Structure 1
Amino acid sequence: MKSILFLLAALSLSTALAHTEVTAIVPAANATVAAPKTITVTLSEPVNLRFSTFRVLRIGAGQTPTQAAAQALAAKADMPTLASLPTKAAGLAATVRVPLKAALPAGPYVIAWTLLSDDGHPVSGFSAFTVK
């Protein structure tokens, strides 16, 4: 009986300590698509959008997606180099829609994010796609 209680406690604790994850992105990673109007990011749980950042940036020549993601997250939301438009999102959401500038030029882009997980830990990542 004690072993069952221990197992249940361990499972509960591991679930409580899990970080928020990105479960889906549109356009999908490494996809080649016509210029989208929005990016959709689906998360494993709702996050407070006040403490979340989502940016889209064209990957420059000679630049890696990792470098472009860092540049995108360091940029202010209204920087003209970003492909994403500034938003004033608030509240909780498990699905985030990031509006993009009209008629993105062909080329590679990175979607970068940083958010505060429900357990208080920051989570960041990126995904790349190409506009044809």
Structure 2
Amino acid sequence: MKKILMLLTALTLSTATAHTAVSSITPSLNAVVAAPRAVQLKFSEPIKLRFSTFRVMAIPAGQSVEAAAKLALAEKADSGRLVSLPLSATITAAQLSIALKANLKSGQYVIAWKILSEDGHPVTGQSTFRIK
């Protein structure tokens, strides 16, 4: 009985500490694509869009993906450096489509996010894709 109780406690703790993750991204990581009209993200659980940030930006020459992601997240939603259009949603969602500006040039792009999960924990991440 004691072993079962310990196992249940361990399972409960591991479930309670799990945070929201991006479960799929389109275009996928490092994909080479024609200029997409939007980027799609799906999450392991609903997120609070009002308290989350999503940015898509061309990666400046010579800059690392991580540095470009930080730079993108620091930009205001209407910044001319971003290729993503501002979001107007203020709801909770388990998937999201981010519209992109038209006529994107060839090059490497970063998708950066800072999300607030339903359990209140912030999660940051990034992905990249290349336009032919």
* TM-score after normalising by structure 1: 0.96
Superposition pairs of residues 27-42 of structure 1, within 5 angstroms: 27-42=27-42
Bigger drift between 27-36 and 12-21 goes to 12-21
Paired AA for residue 30 in structure 1: N
Q: Does 1:120 align with 2:120?
A: yes
The residue that corresponds to 1:78 in the other structure is 78
Match in the other structure for 2:54: 54
Q: Which runs of 5+ in 1 are unaligned?
A: none
Alpha-carbon deviation of 1:96? Answer: 1.0
Partner of 2:109: 109
| Structure 2 unmatched ranges of 5 or more | none
Equivalent residue number for residue 99 of structure 1? 99
CA distance in 2, matches of 1:92, 1:31: 28
- Displacement after TM superposition at 1:89 (Å): 1.4
Structure 1 stretch displaced more, 88-97 or 25-34: 88-97
The question of whether the paired residues in 2 share the 8 Å contact of 1:49 and 1:92 is answered with yes
Residues in 2 aligned to 1:61 and 1:3: alpha-carbon distance in whole angstroms: 56
Alpha-carbon separation, structure 2, partners of 1:92 and 1:5: 35
Distance 2:2 2:49 in 1: 41
Residue 43 of structure 1 is matched in structure 2 by 43
Secondary structure of residue in 1 paired with 2:112: strand
Cα distance in 1 between the residues matched to 2:80 and 2:42: 26
